[in-house]
Amino acid sequence: MTKAPGIYGGRVCVSVGDGCLDCFDLLDRKAVRRYFETDEQRQREDEIYGIPLEALEIKGPSVSPVNGVIAALAATEFMAAVTGLRLPTRLQEYRGHLSKVVVNNDPPRPDCPCCKGIRSKGADADVER
Ligand SMILES: [Zn+2]
């Protein structure tokens, strides 16, 4: 979600079978890269900027009522999945500032490198942590 004043919400993504956060283009590439950096790499990058990058982010803190909505949506999808009540919804986006939940039923990206290349093959992934 694009961050702008007064916009808040969250997402629930159920990844069963095909589909992942990458398919839905929900990953913040900079945050992923930073997550996989070593402490030394992060420190070096922070020194270049002169300030911890987290301080430059415009994302605000999590707010308990919004987190509660997202947790309830996730728990409901989990319940649907494990009980067989219905298929879980792949992606829901809670747009709190509009008081609505938007459902995304787009099919997963057929050429997703995560789904096709490394999913369920974690030991085969050539990733240094
Ligand atoms: Zn994928």
What domain range is 42 assigned to? 9-121
CA 67 to each of CA 11, 77, 112: distance values in angstroms, whole numbers, following the listed order: 10, 15, 29
Q: Establish if 112 belongs to a structural domain.
A: yes
Residue 7: pLDDT over 80 = yes
Q: How far is the CA of 75 from the centre of ligand 1 (A)?
A: 22
pLDDT of residue 128: 64
| Distance from residue 43's CA to the centre of ligand 1 (Å) | 31
Sheet holding 91-95, edge to edge: 9-13, 91-95, 100-104
Q: Decide if 93 is inside a domain.
A: yes
Query: Per-residue pLDDT tens for 12-57?
Result: 998 877 778 888 888 888 888 888 899 998 888 777 767 666 666 5
Cite the DSSP H helix spans in the chain: 29-36, 39-49, 53-56, 64-83, 113
Report yes or no on 126 lying in a domain: no
- Whether 127 maps to a domain, the answer reads no
Do the domain assignments include residue 62?
A: yes
Distance CA 21, CA 12 (A): 10
Nearby residues for ligand 1 (ion, Cβ within 5 Å): 20, 22-23, 112, 114-115
Residue 74 belongs to a domain: yes
> pLDDT at residue 58 above 70?
no
Q: Has residue 59 been placed in a domain?
A: yes
Prediction pTM value: 0.65
In a domain, 87, yes or no: yes
Residue 74: closest CA among 127, 4, 2, 10: 10
Work out the mean pLDDT of the chain and round it to a whole number: 81
Give the chain's domain count: 1
120 pLDDT band, cuts 50/70/90, is low
Does the structure show a pLDDT above 70 at 1? no
| 106 CA to centre of ligand 1 in angstroms | 12
